[in-house]
Amino acid sequence: MKADPGQKKLPGKLLFVSLMGVTCILIAGVIALLWWIQNTGLAGINPLLPTISGITLGLLAAAVLLGTVLLLLTTALGKDILFTRFLRGIVIKFLFPLIEFIGKLIGIQRDTIRQSFIAMNNSLVLSQKILVKADRVLILLPHCIQLFDCEIKVTGAISKCARCGRCDIKGISELGEKYQIDISVATGGTLARKIITEKRPKLVVAVACEGDLTSGIKDCYPLPVLGILNDRPFGPCYNTRVETPKIDDALKLVLG
Ligand code: SF4
């Protein structure tokens, strides 16, 4: 199997997986602590209450640990073992903010955590072995991929590109033509959401920076999104680049 499209970029998914393991052990620890704190008070109300709350909290802690083990196995083996789609939702909606917070506490940069999150998300999406027809896949690009000085504005219709080759829009247009895939260029998160609502794809291959990809993956869930980070040789939001073969690799993995 080919590498995940977001995996080549350091730091890879391992960092996020490790942080996730630590976070889930901490959650289980907090649950145990809660049980210990309330144990004395509950016994005074009814002698059965500590047992009932102990079983409830024990089941909760077991679910957290089991979920973590499943996610770790899914990521390591690249196979959909059990509930991968549901677990991806738990990571995206609940665990990610906590993991980001813990990562920052121990001095890991936010963008590094986000890069690793994107790699982890790609790994989970690919583990589901989703195969989609070309007409149900959408390539979503940020407008900063287009050369700033280009007189043709491709937002809304990438087919207008004259393919002069001064920016990566040319290569991506050719890729879209090769696979007969829809490509949209969005000027921001609001337009990206509108495009997705209108086009109703079954899978999105999105190119963007760490922040936009992270929020896009969260907003789109449960729609599967494969994230590919752009390069910013001139700083953010200006003449950004993307390695077109990474988009090609992602498409080959999901096109049925
Ligand atoms: S490839 Fe050329 S024509 Fe197309 S968007 Fe880039 S600069 Fe403009």
Distances (CA, A) of 252 to 127, 175, 179, 221: 14, 11, 10, 22
Q: Block means of pLDDT (10 residues each) for the chain, length 256 residues?
A: 45 87 88 79 72 83 84 83 85 90 93 94 93 97 96 91 97 96 93 94 97 94 96 96 97 94
| Preceding amide of 47 cis, omega within 30 | no
What pLDDT is recorded for position 3? 42
Which residue among 159, 167, 174 has the greatest number of ligand 1 atoms within 8 angstroms of its CB, and so is best to mutate?
167
Q: State in Å: Cα 82 to ligand 1 middle.
A: 45
Dmax (CA) for the chain in angstroms is 79
Question: HSE on the CB side for 35, CA within 13 Å?
Answer: 19
What pLDDT is recorded for position 59? 87
154 lines ligand 1 (CB under 6 A): yes
What pLDDT is recorded for position 43? 64
User: Residue 114 is which amino acid?
Assistant: R
Distances (CA, A) of 59 to 35, 63, 64, 84, 233: 12, 6, 9, 20, 50
Q: State in Å: Cα 168 to ligand 1 middle.
A: 8
User: What pTM, to 2 d.p., does this model score?
Assistant: 0.87
163 lines ligand 1 (CB under 6 A): yes
Q: State in Å: Cα 74 to ligand 1 middle.
A: 40
Q: Which atom of ligand 1 is nearest to the CA of 149?
A: 7
| Preceding amide of 236 cis, omega within 30 | no
Q: State in Å: Cα 29 to ligand 1 middle.
A: 55
Whose CA is closest to 229, among 203, 202, 250, 254? Answer: 250
Q: Which atom of ligand 1 is nearest to the CA of 167?
A: 6
What pLDDT is recorded for position 21? 87
Going by CA atoms, what residue is nearest to atom 2 of ligand 1?
164
182-186 vs 225-229, strand pairing mode? unpaired
161 lines ligand 1 (CB under 6 A): yes
Distances (CA, A) of 214 to 1, 79, 92, 110, 118: 25, 23, 9, 11, 7
147 lines ligand 1 (CB under 6 A): yes
Helix axes 210-220, 189-199, angle to 10 degrees: 40
158 lines ligand 1 (CB under 6 A): no
Q: State in Å: Cα 188 to ligand 1 middle.
A: 20
Q: State in Å: Cα 95 to ligand 1 middle.
A: 40
Q: State in Å: Cα 171 to ligand 1 middle.
A: 10
Q: Which structural domains are found in the chain, ordered by start?
A: 13-127 (no CATH), 134-254 (3.40.50)
CA-to-CA distance for 213 and 220, rounded, in angstroms?
10
